[in-house]
Amino acid sequence: MQPRTTRGGAHDEAVPHTDDDAALGAEPAAVVAGARRRAVRDGDRQIDTAHLLHSLLEHDPEVRAAVGDPQRLARLFGYLVQRSIGYGLRWQGSVEDSGAIAVVAAPVGAGGRDGRDAPAWSPAAAAAMAAARGRARRRGEPRPAGTDLLAALTADPGSRAVEVLERAGIPARDLHDRIETGTEEYAGDSGGSC
Protein backbone atom coordinates (compact mmCIF):
# COMPACT_ATOMS: atom_id res chain seq x y z
CA MET A 1 0.00 0.00 0.00
CA GLN A 2 1.38 3.40 -0.95
CA PRO A 3 1.10 6.36 1.40
CA ARG A 4 -1.50 8.99 0.52
CA THR A 5 0.86 11.87 1.09
CA THR A 6 4.50 12.24 0.28
CA ARG A 7 6.98 13.88 2.56
CA GLY A 8 9.73 15.83 0.92
CA GLY A 9 12.90 17.30 2.19
CA ALA A 10 16.40 18.30 1.25
CA HIS A 11 17.35 14.65 0.89
CA ASP A 12 14.51 14.01 -1.59
CA GLU A 13 15.59 16.92 -3.76
CA ALA A 14 19.17 15.61 -3.86
CA VAL A 15 18.15 12.09 -4.90
CA PRO A 16 18.44 11.76 -8.67
CA HIS A 17 15.19 10.94 -10.43
CA THR A 18 14.78 9.32 -13.79
CA ASP A 19 13.70 12.75 -15.08
CA ASP A 20 17.37 13.66 -15.29
CA ASP A 21 18.13 11.03 -17.90
CA ALA A 22 18.40 11.50 -21.63
CA ALA A 23 14.68 10.90 -22.11
CA LEU A 24 13.90 14.45 -21.04
CA GLY A 25 17.07 16.50 -21.01
CA ALA A 26 17.94 19.16 -18.45
CA GLU A 27 15.29 21.82 -19.07
CA PRO A 28 12.21 19.57 -19.28
CA ALA A 29 13.51 17.59 -16.30
CA ALA A 30 13.71 20.84 -14.29
CA VAL A 31 10.08 21.60 -15.21
CA VAL A 32 8.98 18.12 -14.10
CA ALA A 33 10.99 18.35 -10.88
CA GLY A 34 9.46 21.76 -10.13
CA ALA A 35 5.95 20.42 -10.74
CA ARG A 36 6.67 17.47 -8.46
CA ARG A 37 7.94 19.74 -5.66
CA ARG A 38 4.88 21.96 -6.05
CA ALA A 39 2.52 18.97 -5.80
CA VAL A 40 4.29 17.68 -2.69
CA ARG A 41 4.33 21.13 -1.08
CA ASP A 42 0.62 21.63 -1.83
CA GLY A 43 -0.21 18.22 -0.37
CA ASP A 44 -1.66 17.03 -3.67
CA ARG A 45 -1.75 13.32 -4.47
CA GLN A 46 -1.03 13.93 -8.13
CA ILE A 47 1.04 16.15 -10.35
CA ASP A 48 -1.56 17.84 -12.51
CA THR A 49 -1.49 20.13 -15.54
CA ALA A 50 -1.63 23.27 -13.41
CA HIS A 51 1.53 22.15 -11.57
CA LEU A 52 3.20 21.61 -14.95
CA LEU A 53 2.03 24.99 -16.25
CA HIS A 54 3.32 26.81 -13.16
CA SER A 55 6.71 25.13 -13.31
CA LEU A 56 6.93 25.62 -17.07
CA LEU A 57 6.33 29.36 -16.71
CA GLU A 58 9.00 29.60 -14.02
CA HIS A 59 11.65 27.79 -16.07
CA ASP A 60 11.11 28.73 -19.71
CA PRO A 61 11.41 32.27 -21.10
CA GLU A 62 10.00 31.17 -24.49
CA VAL A 63 6.84 29.96 -22.79
CA ARG A 64 6.52 33.23 -20.88
CA ALA A 65 6.88 35.12 -24.18
CA ALA A 66 4.21 32.93 -25.78
CA VAL A 67 1.76 33.58 -22.94
CA GLY A 68 1.98 37.31 -23.17
CA ASP A 69 2.95 40.62 -21.74
CA PRO A 70 3.99 41.16 -18.10
CA GLN A 71 0.44 42.04 -17.00
CA ARG A 72 -0.92 38.77 -18.37
CA LEU A 73 1.91 36.83 -16.77
CA ALA A 74 1.40 38.51 -13.40
CA ARG A 75 -2.31 37.72 -13.48
CA LEU A 76 -1.61 34.12 -14.50
CA PHE A 77 1.00 33.63 -11.76
CA GLY A 78 -1.52 35.10 -9.31
CA TYR A 79 -4.07 32.45 -10.21
CA LEU A 80 -1.48 29.68 -10.07
CA VAL A 81 -0.37 30.75 -6.60
CA GLN A 82 -3.99 30.90 -5.44
CA ARG A 83 -4.53 27.22 -6.17
CA SER A 84 -3.16 26.28 -2.74
CA ILE A 85 -5.20 28.84 -0.84
CA GLY A 86 -8.23 29.55 -3.01
CA TYR A 87 -10.27 27.87 -5.67
CA GLY A 88 -7.69 25.15 -6.19
CA LEU A 89 -8.57 23.63 -2.82
CA ARG A 90 -11.52 21.94 -4.47
CA TRP A 91 -9.00 20.03 -6.59
CA GLN A 92 -7.33 18.42 -3.58
CA GLY A 93 -8.30 14.83 -3.18
CA SER A 94 -9.71 14.62 -6.70
CA VAL A 95 -8.16 13.20 -9.83
CA GLU A 96 -7.65 15.49 -12.80
CA ASP A 97 -9.10 13.45 -15.62
CA SER A 98 -10.43 15.44 -18.50
CA GLY A 99 -11.27 12.25 -20.37
CA ALA A 100 -8.19 12.49 -22.57
CA ILE A 101 -7.20 8.91 -21.75
CA ALA A 102 -8.64 6.17 -19.58
CA VAL A 103 -5.73 4.73 -17.60
CA VAL A 104 -2.21 6.09 -17.50
CA ALA A 105 1.03 4.99 -15.99
CA ALA A 106 3.65 7.59 -15.16
CA PRO A 107 5.23 8.96 -18.33
CA VAL A 108 8.56 7.39 -19.23
CA GLY A 109 11.29 9.41 -17.58
CA ALA A 110 8.81 11.32 -15.45
CA GLY A 111 8.46 9.43 -12.19
CA GLY A 112 10.61 8.76 -9.19
CA ARG A 113 12.75 5.63 -8.94
CA ASP A 114 10.24 3.49 -7.11
CA GLY A 115 7.07 5.57 -6.96
CA ARG A 116 7.41 6.29 -3.23
CA ASP A 117 9.30 9.55 -3.59
CA ALA A 118 6.93 11.27 -6.02
CA PRO A 119 3.22 11.87 -6.37
CA ALA A 120 1.43 10.05 -9.15
CA TRP A 121 0.58 11.77 -12.44
CA SER A 122 -2.95 12.82 -13.23
CA PRO A 123 -4.20 11.24 -16.45
CA ALA A 124 -4.36 14.68 -18.08
CA ALA A 125 -0.77 15.55 -17.07
CA ALA A 126 0.53 12.20 -18.30
CA ALA A 127 -1.30 12.72 -21.60
CA ALA A 128 0.22 16.21 -21.93
CA MET A 129 3.73 14.86 -21.38
CA ALA A 130 3.16 12.15 -24.00
CA ALA A 131 1.72 14.69 -26.45
CA ALA A 132 4.71 17.01 -25.91
CA ARG A 133 7.08 14.17 -26.74
CA GLY A 134 5.05 13.34 -29.84
CA ARG A 135 5.11 16.97 -30.97
CA ALA A 136 8.89 17.08 -30.53
CA ARG A 137 9.32 13.88 -32.55
CA ARG A 138 7.20 15.30 -35.38
CA ARG A 139 9.58 18.27 -35.46
CA GLY A 140 12.52 15.86 -35.60
CA GLU A 141 13.73 16.69 -32.08
CA PRO A 142 14.68 14.02 -29.55
CA ARG A 143 13.35 15.98 -26.55
CA PRO A 144 10.34 18.22 -26.05
CA ALA A 145 10.82 21.97 -25.72
CA GLY A 146 8.78 24.09 -23.33
CA THR A 147 6.51 25.21 -26.13
CA ASP A 148 5.80 21.54 -26.97
CA LEU A 149 4.52 21.03 -23.45
CA LEU A 150 2.60 24.33 -23.51
CA ALA A 151 0.92 23.28 -26.77
CA ALA A 152 -0.04 19.96 -25.19
CA LEU A 153 -1.38 21.64 -22.04
CA THR A 154 -3.51 24.08 -24.02
CA ALA A 155 -4.89 21.36 -26.32
CA ASP A 156 -6.97 19.76 -23.55
CA PRO A 157 -9.96 22.04 -22.87
CA GLY A 158 -10.88 20.07 -19.73
CA SER A 159 -7.51 20.37 -18.02
CA ARG A 160 -6.75 22.39 -14.91
CA ALA A 161 -4.06 24.29 -16.81
CA VAL A 162 -6.66 25.50 -19.30
CA GLU A 163 -9.01 26.43 -16.46
CA VAL A 164 -6.28 28.56 -14.86
CA LEU A 165 -5.36 30.19 -18.19
CA GLU A 166 -9.00 31.04 -18.90
CA ARG A 167 -9.54 32.47 -15.40
CA ALA A 168 -6.50 34.68 -15.97
CA GLY A 169 -8.05 35.99 -19.18
CA ILE A 170 -5.78 34.06 -21.54
CA PRO A 171 -7.80 32.16 -24.16
CA ALA A 172 -6.15 28.74 -24.23
CA ARG A 173 -7.40 27.91 -27.72
CA ASP A 174 -5.87 31.10 -29.13
CA LEU A 175 -2.59 30.38 -27.33
CA HIS A 176 -2.60 26.83 -28.68
CA ASP A 177 -3.25 28.06 -32.23
CA ARG A 178 -0.40 30.60 -31.99
CA ILE A 179 2.00 27.87 -30.87
CA GLU A 180 0.90 25.49 -33.61
CA THR A 181 1.28 28.13 -36.32
CA GLY A 182 4.69 29.19 -35.06
CA THR A 183 3.62 32.63 -33.84
CA GLU A 184 4.27 31.86 -30.17
CA GLU A 185 5.28 35.34 -29.19
CA TYR A 186 2.32 37.35 -28.00
CA ALA A 187 1.71 40.38 -30.18
CA GLY A 188 -0.93 42.04 -28.03
CA ASP A 189 -4.66 42.37 -28.27
CA SER A 190 -6.05 44.12 -31.30
CA GLY A 191 -9.22 45.00 -29.47
CA GLY A 192 -8.03 46.56 -26.22
CA SER A 193 -6.89 45.24 -22.88
CA CYS A 194 -7.31 41.68 -21.76
Determine contact, residues 15/114, Cβ cutoff 8 Å. Answer: no
Q: What is the pLDDT of residue 28?
A: 80
Give the pLDDT score at 17: 37
pLDDT under 50: residue ranges of the chain: 1-22, 100-116, 187-194
pLDDT tens profile 102-154: 434 444 444 444 444 567 899 999 999 999 999 999 999 999 999 999 999 99
Whole-number pLDDT of residue 79: 87
Q: At residue 91, what is the residue type? A: W
Cα–Cα distance between 188 and 194 in angstroms, integer?
9
At residue 90, the pLDDT reads: 53
pTM score, whole prediction: 0.73
The torsion angle over the Cα atoms of residues 55, 56, 62 and 64, rounded to 10 degrees, is -60
Q: Taking the CA atoms of the chain, what radius of gyration do you get in angstroms?
A: 16
